[in-house]
Amino acid sequence: MNNVVLANIFRFLGLILLQGLVLKNIGEGWEEFPYLFVIIYPLAIILLPLRTPRVLTILLGFVAGLLIDGFYSSPGLHASAAVFMAFCRPYVLKALEPRNGYNVNYSPTAARWGFGWFMRYSAMMLALYLFFYFSVDAFTFVYLGSILLKTLVSLITSMIFTLIYQVIFNPVD
């Protein structure tokens, strides 16, 4: 097994455990401000190498979502949002494609394509994930204001944690 596969397996498992055991507890106890959710495990899908087949990306999104659903006791909510985000990944990558294209042998990281590009890419992916997640959670657009507020607050806090992850681990491959 080569180093890229091992690095992605460890990243996948590490982010799932970090989300389920640590970050799940951040918003608890803030009943007067129920808009704070820190979601960072989608980085496991966001940082997959560009050559990863779309079907495998969607399958990994489903597996990651199911594992997180086990921690959160939310059957299918995270799985559906992760599958949606994984499905949208090629479109977001195409929209942000540099003029000279991508080298498909690498992962889309800040070290490879620049910090600004990575922050735009991860923000778009997390925004898709969070909006879908909160929309399915509410199951109606009657609460569109609440959905948008939860998405915005959670996106900001999740992007802060994404930035911290990028600085600490600085994934290159």
| Domain containing residue 46: CATH number | 1.10.1760
Higher pLDDT, 47 or 102: 47
Q: Please say if the pLDDT value at position 23 is more than 90.
A: no
Tens digits of residue pLDDT in 131-151: 999 999 988 878 888 899 999
Give the integer Cα–Cα distance in Å for 131 and 134. Answer: 5
Would you say residue 47 has pLDDT above 80?
A: yes
4 has a pLDDT exceeding 60: yes
Strand ranges for 21-157 from DSSP E: none
R_g (Cα) of the chain, nearest Å: 16
Quick one: CA dihedral 122, 48, 134, 14, positive or negative? negative
How many structural domains is the chain composed of?
A: 1
Determine the 3-state secondary structure of 5 from DSSP.
helix
**In terms of residue numbers, what domain contains 57?**
3-169
CB 118 within 8 A of CB 96: no
Exposed, middle or buried by CB within 10 Å (0-12, 13-18, 19+), for 42? buried
By the 8 A CB rule, do 15 and 78 touch?
A: no
Tokens representing 105 are 């042998």
For the chain, what percent of residues have pLDDT higher than 90?
Answer: 50
C-alpha–C-alpha distance, residues 155 and 170, integer Å: 20
